[in-house]
Structure 1
């Protein structure tokens, strides 16, 4: 029996945008390792006027229907800040993206990807990097290793079959992003302990926790270091002022002062390490719904985070120090302070570091030195249009 025709249409109203969001919950619920986000958060991500990504991006959402029923979705987008970057850093002029792919089967996925490519061509794009859902700062890449366990907060989880769908459409890997798993209950190797102890004796170095009562000022310090430290990295796109404020609003409820460190050298902030309790653990328990009882569970957890895992999503050292021994010393000192706080104050047992670019030799060396191991890998693909 022949399959019904697949019809791809742009999302044109609020009801269709709701159907776009809801599809992920229907297709994801059969995967035991998928973590449903709060639906309100998922809606905010794709809503113009709420997500500041739209301030500097052209975005089009598409739905696939078969026999009248929604069978897939995709976003196509052009980030104008990314398009202004040096092409050697991965993006650059003429480069567009697609993301937020969900599909019942390969036929639907192929039709959606082809439609996203057509839209990008219509906008004058010559190349595509994908998947990005939607910014490189949100959930970049297709999961290609680590399907057997849930993602941590702010990381994606896509079915393995999507990888095969993408590669079957002539996409080739452009960059690998890796996360590293670490048993934080164990002390670091003796060499790392000696490096940390040496730093503690250095009067020019101060490692301090953030002061949440000065949240905006501390966030500004961290974002200044981040924009400088990451500015030469592959895929880097600078944060706008609105994105800084938006990210601060999102992070504030789960920020714990003793899990985020700022390193000062000769009295000036030069490095930071941000660590977040894994919000995905309680989110999985509430199944993406705050009502009727999810809000109480989440509020209890936010008041006193407990669980297994913390994640280090971001760290950075000012560029002028990155080639010096000081950079790794500061990193080890911050990691050690956070490790001790996470175990002593919250009972966490596992840390996840990343994502880290596969060719970021400095960060890979730090991850290796403390005994962590790759547990997930995400691939960003490219294709000429």
Structure 2
């Protein structure tokens, strides 16, 4: 008998997380999330998202076997900021069974409709500030850090249920030397030009990390506020994310632009720790996962350029080019072999053009779906 039930207990949350490991057991591109991090993300009281919004987890069963999962997400801050009544689904995984997919999405719809939502958008976990999008092309390589991976048949399952594309997100690949270093050659000239305007670019100061984080959050919430589906991060949410990222942060890849002591731009790239996480069985650090992770981190040879933005009044001044030049120089110095710039909205012409001009190759495409409910 097929059925979908709410999942709320500690046992349920554990099963919710572990289902993904079982589903992808034979997928060489699957990278397990750390269990502790996923558990805290999904547990009210652990992650600051739950202070202003709601989620409901569901598990699908065929007799006593778990065959699917989904989270219904009511992001109150998103709806208030964008003046909409959206509902979201996330953490979606299931076997290749249209009936199971339909049952899961129906449950999420039912829960969200009762909360006043009039649309269902996803996959989004919990907003575009976190992991989002469904992979629709580029299944032949593992995802870079903090990017999703899923089964190829998911796209068809959603389309069969009348979900339609809302927007695509692009990921660009750079090989070891497969980039245009024009920005590097112009860096000295651009840096001097910025200096004459009172603008400097420097690495984040880890000794004043919290002070830096507070200023970067202001830039982040300003520079990305016009992106589709954007919602400002609360102070607690941003600090929570910063604390996690600080564990793997390399300041050569974490840069700020300043004018008169005020942050006006921010760029972040992270080592692709997924190259190490892929070997951590079922996302458990104990008993042996921690050693695999620490050993694997020493062999990481790629980075992901996650964020690069400038507040509106200082765009096109050369700051973005200087950010890229600095990242390329650090990439060379540390002898990394590949990089990904992700993600970029498909209609963000300025950013797509900039990445293509330095020979970025679009190698993965992710899709966010929507449906009126």
Same fold, judged at TM 0.5 (above)? yes
1:339 Cα deviation from its structure 2 partner: 1.6
Other structure's SS at 2:153 match? helix
Q: 1:301 to 1:257 in 2, by over 3 A?
A: farther
TM-score by length of 1: 0.91
* Number of aligned residue pairs: 368
Kept in 2, the 8 Å contact 1:184–1:339? The answer is no
CA–CA separation in structure 2 for the residues paired with 1:235 and 1:361? 17
CA–CA separation in structure 2 for the residues paired with 1:46 and 1:64? 17
Kept in 2, the 8 Å contact 1:226–1:315? The answer is no
1:180 aligned residue: 172
Q: Does 1:355 align with 2:343?
A: yes
Other structure's SS at 2:246 match? helix
Match of 2:223 among 217, 220, 229: 229
CA–CA separation in structure 1 for the residues paired with 2:245 and 2:280? 19
Other structure's SS at 1:382 match? strand
CA–CA separation in structure 2 for the residues paired with 1:52 and 1:104? 31
Other structure's SS at 2:362 match? strand
Q: Does 1:312 align with 2:305?
A: yes
Match of 1:293 among 273, 288, 303: 288
Q: Does 1:19 align with 2:15?
A: yes
CA–CA separation in structure 1 for the residues paired with 2:47 and 2:125? 12
CA–CA separation in structure 2 for the residues paired with 1:85 and 1:12? 28
Q: Could you report, residue by residue, the CA deviation over 1:280-328 in whole angstroms, capped at 9, with x for unpaired residues?
A: 01001222221222212323555xx542210111121012123xx30xx
1:186 Cα deviation from its structure 2 partner: 5.0
CA–CA separation in structure 2 for the residues paired with 1:153 and 1:45? 17
CA–CA separation in structure 1 for the residues paired with 2:72 and 2:209? 34
1:206 Cα deviation from its structure 2 partner: 2.0
Kept in 1, the 8 Å contact 2:75–2:126? The answer is no
CA–CA separation in structure 2 for the residues paired with 1:18 and 1:156? 20
CA–CA separation in structure 1 for the residues paired with 2:158 and 2:55? 20
Q: Could you report, residue by residue, the CA deviation over 1:327-347 in whole angstroms, capped at 9, with x for unpaired residues?
A: xx21121111122212213x2
Other structure's SS at 1:250 match? helix
Kept in 2, the 8 Å contact 1:306–1:348? The answer is no
1:58 aligned residue: 54
CA–CA separation in structure 1 for the residues paired with 2:253 and 2:8? 43
1:105 aligned residue: 96
CA–CA separation in structure 2 for the residues paired with 1:144 and 1:151? 13
CA–CA separation in structure 2 for the residues paired with 1:289 and 1:126? 38
CA–CA separation in structure 1 for the residues paired with 2:313 and 2:165? 31
Question: For structure 2, which runs of at least 5 residues remain unmatched after alignment?
Answer: none
Other structure's SS at 1:128 match? strand
1:334 aligned residue: 323
Match of 1:152 among 144, 151, 155: 144
CA–CA separation in structure 1 for the residues paired with 2:339 and 2:189? 24
CA–CA separation in structure 2 for the residues paired with 1:50 and 1:263? 33
1:89 aligned residue: none
Other structure's SS at 2:247 match? helix
Q: Does 1:201 align with 2:192?
A: yes
Q: Does 1:49 align with 2:57?
A: no
Q: Does 1:283 align with 2:271?
A: no
Kept in 1, the 8 Å contact 2:145–2:304? The answer is yes
2:246 aligned residue: 252
Q: Does 1:238 align with 2:239?
A: no
Q: 1:187 to 1:10 in 2, by over 3 A?
A: closer
How big is the alpha-carbon RMSD for the aligned residues of Structure 1 and Structure 2?
1.7
Kept in 2, the 8 Å contact 1:35–1:280? The answer is yes
1:122 aligned residue: 114
Q: Does 1:77 align with 2:73?
A: yes
Question: For structure 1, which runs of at least 5 residues remain unmatched after alignment?
Answer: 87-91
Match of 1:321 among 314, 317, 323: 314
CA–CA separation in structure 2 for the residues paired with 1:176 and 1:330? 26
Q: 1:105 to 1:301 in 2, by over 3 A?
A: closer
